[in-house]
Structure 1
Amino acid sequence: MATMADVAKRAGVSIMTVSRVVNHSGYVSPSTRQRVLAAMQELHYVPKAQSSPQDTWMLIVPDITNPFFTFIARGMEDVARKHGFRVFIANTDEDLEKEQTYVQMCMEYHVRGALVVPVGDPSRETLLRLSDHQIPFVLIDRDIDGLDADVVKGDIRETSRRLVEHLLDLGHERIAAVVGPLHSASSRERLDGYRDALAQRGMPWDDGLVFTAPMTRDMDVSFVDDLLHGPDAPTAMFLGNMFQYAHVVRRLRELGISIPGDVSLVSFGNTDDLASIDSRATAAVQPAYNYGSLGAQLLLERVEGVRKTSTRIVLNSEIIVRDSTAPPSARIANRG
């Protein structure tokens, strides 16, 4: 069995540095931390936990301030508490290194199970480490190609198709799409749904209308300027989530472009009707609470050993038509 000294030797650092990484204490540069984590993974080193919270589950999400993940957390916690478990929450910020750190913590502290919204396909090797240590987990919102696991997610491709179809029904022909990074299955499903809607109407595919951007609070919207001031500007946009929607709306307002008078917008929503009572967005409202509660139920079955085979649950979304969409105006159609 590997020791802390073995890890230090493999990473080319001191034992004290390994200790700081393991105990999350003191400063360690990002590059050094990554070397230590890589050495720990290569050597299959699991530190002796200072405590063993056998009643603890972990929820690993990109950003708990996104209301979509907040609702997932509440759904998970309600089930966990009912069955005597507590929930720790970790935010990856869509960063693979942070995800690796939190998976390592799951093993260090012997958590009983985890719900994980993975960063993307590169998460596969990291999550396999949970299986290697007999820690059950459930994927939430996103599949990972080639990973046999329980999954609770939405009908993202079909919902994306329906959102874009709504724009087509209004008469829009130039529709831009903004989705998340394509290493995430949920982003690829959004793009596939967009493609499906265009193909069903015989509309041409235009690479110039497709953009990828983070689905987080940090997003560069400079592409909006070029997109809407070009000779063939779109009259509508399909957006991946409400953070993207918020960023785009703010930039359109700065440019003096009205919604939906000049440009119509559709997006995936994050919360239920009550939480979005003042929203103007035509959006797909996902049952996020059920993602968390059903995911927790699947996790409980794994923890209690009552089920060995993987289960896949796909939930439908409801599209709410509000004030961010309208037929294209003659003014915007003739712009350029």
Structure 2
Amino acid sequence: MAQTAESAYQINGIQQIGIGVKDVHKAWAWYRKAFSMDVPVFEDEATANLMTRYTNGKAESRHAVLAMNMQGGGGFEIWQFTSRTPTGTEFQILPGDLGIYAVKMRVRNLEIAFEHLKKSGAKILTTPSKTPNGTGTFFIQDPFENVFQIVEDSNRFSENSAPTGGVLGVVIGVSNLDKSIPLFRDILGFTQLQYQKEGVFDDIPGDKLTYKRALLTMPGKSNPGAFGALLCPAQIELIEVQGRDSKQIFKDRLWGDLGFIHCCLDVNGMKNLKKKAGNEGYPFTVDSEDSFDMGSASGHFGYLEDLDKTLIEFVETHRVPILQKWNLYLNLKNRDPKKNLPKFLVKLLALNRVKA
């Protein structure tokens, strides 16, 4: 939870990572097989009228699916332009390039996850090793050239046989580590500094360069908010490369183009968060102002940029489908934001599961 002197807002975890793809159905099929992202919260086709700041002044159409893994963790918002052909970078994205370099995925057993992802067709970038704080990890690349860091983590919402859980966090490339930390630590609720180190690290893919790294995590073992228990505590790792120039991952490209387009945090108290962020020099660049319809779901959303223009999204959920085929929806606007929904109610989402 994060607070101002006058009022409070809270961060409930990483809700989802936006992933721009060429074919939403093909990508989702692979993410169901590889990461068990098989429970859709919504699937929607619409025009992104409020995002024209990041789409060259033109409202572009898109098809999006928000999918979750019921073991726990954040989801994927798998996002495809339908009004234009998305573009990728003209260079290979490397650790320390500015933007979201990798998405961290939580797993219970590193060896089982390694064999599963290899069989699923992932490109292995590193073999299992240890992070600076001794946690088991390895990196892969999916068939769409997106990089994922697989990380051992014990937090769970529910037990199933899937080899992986959901999103644990992100690795964000920054130009100045020390200046970047305050946004995530002091405003966005990642208040626990697990490590801050400089050196050559065996767990990072690619050339053995020197990096500055800081791992920030949410406090405690549980999250507030309606879906806080499902989202599980999250982490953000900031990484600054030494000895080579870092490139802007989304320079001259649009929000929604190929790759990791944003990191979305689930929040309550959006207006207070906006005030706090603005006062600290991080004004919202997009704000839906009130409830915004996302097909079967609705909520208040906003965006800000970090110092290197990486997009952080916030969503305060107002309505969400639990059993859409039976028109069962939850209205969250008038409930205590500090309390988790009953576990049995959240588990009903699994009845919407789409088979791999």
Normalised TM-score (structure 1): 0.26
Which protein is richer in helix relative to its size? Answer: 1
Between 1 and 2, higher relative CO (CA 8 Å, sep ≥ 6) is seen in 2
Give the number of the structure whose alpha-carbon radius of gyration is greater. Answer: 1
Greater fraction of residues in strand = 2
Q: TM-score, normalised by structure 2?
A: 0.25
